[in-house]
Amino acid sequence: MELTVTRHEAALVVGVRGRLDSTTSTRLEQELLSRIAAAERSIVLDCSQLAYITSAGLRAVLLAAKKLKNTQGALVLCSLNESVWKVFDLAGFTRILSIHATLQDALAGLPTR
Amino acid sequence: MQGKQRLIFTTLLLEVAFLVPDTIAAVLAGSLAVWADLLRCGIETLAVFFAWLTIRKVDRVSSDPQRYEYGLGKLESMSTVLIASIFFVAAGWVTMDAWAAFRAPEPLEWSNIWLAFVFNLVAIVIDGGLWWKHRTIAVRERSPIVEAEARLYRIKTFADVLVGIVLALAASLRGPWLGYLDPASSLVIAGVMVHSAYGILSESVRDLLDVALDEGMQLQVLRCLATHFEDYREFHGVRSRRAGSAMFIEVFLEFEPDRRMAEVQAAIDHMRDELMGAIPGSFVSIVPITQNINVGGALRPSAATA
């Protein structure tokens, strides 16, 4: 799994590439939590290169989403492929998270910093 | 649990009752496949006996549950490890006998094997029925020991059918190659034993090592957390493990500090009942906590509070 972090005007975009499972989700969790602890309030998780996600990956996403919500921030997801979308939907995450088709849509929906 | 104990005791009685005619048939037939089948039956009877002892022990200890609050399920898993080990030994034994028979093959005579053939037909019906019955209970109760028994009867049914085919061929055909058919079929039986033992062993070792719940159940937990997303302040992790047919799930949540204890308790009760309903056989604890947990289970400060 590879993480890329890009600063945009509206948010910090964290790109996830590869598989997000029990062996790799800790890295994503630490990355997101350290950014939130550093007062980051709007994070977009770009899943365009995310091939596979397990419950461990979903837990990292839930943890970050909750922390951002408590600080009036937002975690937004975009570009989920069909199989990843299905896992999010099965876990009921599509009802509690803001998910967009493209990165542009995701950024457009966020307030400017 | 009483249903499991009754089923295994009935199975044990049937196993013991069938050993007598099986032994007579094997002596008369002189077939390696029939002998291998008898050996397998004998070891399986022993395995069923161990399974029955285990279930009895679990039932007895269940009357004093505080003594082994988490360990009862492990007893079941340990018993299935023993059953798998016995399978491995039996497979090795049969393989050695088959190797010897390949070096000096002997065709079977119908006059010697007809009794074995008749017993075998009866065994197919009984073992097939027991396979179906164990499978039904294993699916309903998710018990490792009944699952192991279901696998055992699947092998038995398969082996019975194979022995039946060998005996039928020996009776109806002629030729020097028929001498190799008998040890070859016993090797197949040995292979099936090893395959099944591996399946039993891998499942039980996972249980003994406190394996977490499988993905489907983990998603159920997350679904519950998503449904009650507004009821807690922070999510600090999930820890789960299986012990036999029991599943233990701990969900670590932080609640708003200004909420009354009664409100928090009501939210916890609601989530716990929902999860226990969604995952039959689970024991769910919702743990109010203010720290994150890592994968290994040790506590570490959360990033927000560190």
Q: What average pLDDT values come out for chain B (306 residues) when binned by 10 residues?
A: 72 82 78 76 78 75 61 71 83 86 77 80 87 82 72 81 82 76 83 82 77 87 95 92 82 93 95 93 90 52 38
How far apart, in Å, are the Cα atoms of B164 and each of A51, B33, B119, B125?
50, 10, 10, 12
Can you tell me the distance from the alpha carbon of A55 to that of A74, in angstroms, rounded to the nearest whole number? 21
Residue ranges of chain A whose CB lies within 8 Å of a chain B CB:
22, 26, 33-34, 36-37, 54-55, 58-59, 62-63, 66-67, 70, 87, 90-93, 95-96
How does pLDDT run across B252-285, given as a tens digit for each residue?
Answer: 999 999 999 999 999 999 999 999 999 988 999 9
Exposed, middle or buried, B273 (CB in 10 Å: 0-12/13-18/19+)? exposed
Residue-level pLDDT at B62: 61
Chain-centroid distance, C-alpha B245: 10
Instruction: Write out pLDDT tens, residues A62-90.
Output: 999 999 999 999 999 999 999 999 999 99
Select the residue of A37, A55, A70 nearest B222 (Cβ to Cβ): A55
Query: pLDDT for B61-95, tens place per residue?
Result: 666 656 666 666 677 777 778 878 888 888 898 88
With both helix axes pointing from N to C terminus, report the angle between B110-141 and B2-29 in degrees, rounded to the nearest 10. Answer: 170
Q: What is the ipTM of this complex?
A: 0.93
Distance CA B19, CA B2 (A): 26
CA distance A2 to chain B (A): 20
Give the nearest partner residue to B304 out of A22, A36, A90, using CB atoms. Answer: A36
pLDDT of residue A102: 95
Task: Identify which of A33, A58, A70 has the shortest CB distance to residue B303.
Answer: A33
Percentage of chain A modeled with pLDDT above 70: 97
